[in-house]
Each structure stands twice: as structure tokens, then as C-alpha cells.
Amino acid sequence: IKWNQCSTKTYPDRLLKRVNEFEFPAVDIFVTSADPILEPSIITMNTILSLLAVDYPIDKLALYLSDDGCSQLTFYSLVETTKFAKLWVPFCKKYNIQVRAPFRYFTSKSTPLEDDSLEFQHEWKKIKNKYGDLCKKIELAAQRPFTCDPNSDFAIFCDVDRSNHPAIIKVLACPSITIIPLPFVLIVKL
């Protein structure tokens, strides 16, 4: 067998010249997680943020996080990430940000350029601070045990065994019910 190296070059800007946006197919994206200790939640959440900010019609996009470990930390992280996404996704679209995972974006671009508009610089700092807050919340949540409060969003996790639990499906964002449009975001625990 002889291997031939190939490279693929995409031209997403040409897509709209060939197909109208309403003709795009619906796309379901699945992200899986099994253990928030072995797979740090912040890395999983950065993957989710980059997928939510993809340049695709939001009404034709759905993102599912399949959490095989039935972790309260993963659920909490996704709830907080969905809140942050309401800032991150519009920021990416408004300024045509190409690197859409915040941890990668903020490490590659440590400060906005002086040539950037004042509005961009202000929003950039705000988003970076909010992302730092998100990281701290997730880190702190990983260090403390979750209490079982029957009146909270976590009530469904009370007395749940990681290896034997009922199916749990929660919708965290829906394009028709959020003020700042996001694709469907669901967490699935089977």
C-alpha cells in the first residue's frame, strides 16, 4: 500500500454563491464527555463555545452534550457556558473572529491592537474578563461537592448513580426563546 499525501482547502465564502442559506441542511453536533476529571470541563466547554459560534444558520444547528458520567459538574459547566455564549457568539459574529475557542483566541491575541476601534477594545476586555470569570466558576465548582437541593436545577441529579441512572435530557438554549439567538443546546445523560 502506498500512501499519498493530500491536502484539502476549503472556501466557505463561496458557499453562499452556490446555495441560499435557507437551503442549508439541519446539522446536529454531538460532543461527548464521560469524566470531568479526566476530561477537564473547561476544555469541553471551549469546544462547545467554538461550535456555537460557527458561521451557520442558528435555526438549523443543534448541539448535544452527551455526558455518560452523569456529572453535576458537567451540567453546571454547560449552564454557565450557555450564559457566556450569549456574549461570545455575537462578539465572534460582529467582529468576524476566526479563532472561536476563547482559550485559544485569548492566548493568541493577548491584547487588542492599537489600530482596533475603541468599541472593539472595550468589548474585547469585557469578553476576556467574562471568560476569566467562567473559568474561575468552573474551577471552583470542580473543587467543591454539589449539594442536593430539590428546588434547584440540580434536583434531577439527587441520588443518581453514575453507572445506573435514568435518561436525562435538558434543553438549555433554543433559538426561538432566547433574546440573544443561540442554536439549540441540549445535555443528554443516558
Residues placed in the known binding site for UDP-alpha-D-glucose: 39, 68
Residue 19 contacts by C-beta under 8 Å, 6 or more apart in sequence? none
CA–CA dist 132, 126 (Å, integer): 10
Cβ(116)–Cβ(103) below 8 Å: no
Cβ(62)–Cβ(26) below 8 Å: yes
Q: If you search the block for the grid coordinates 450557555, which residue do you land on?
A: 82
- Coil, strand or helix at 154: helix
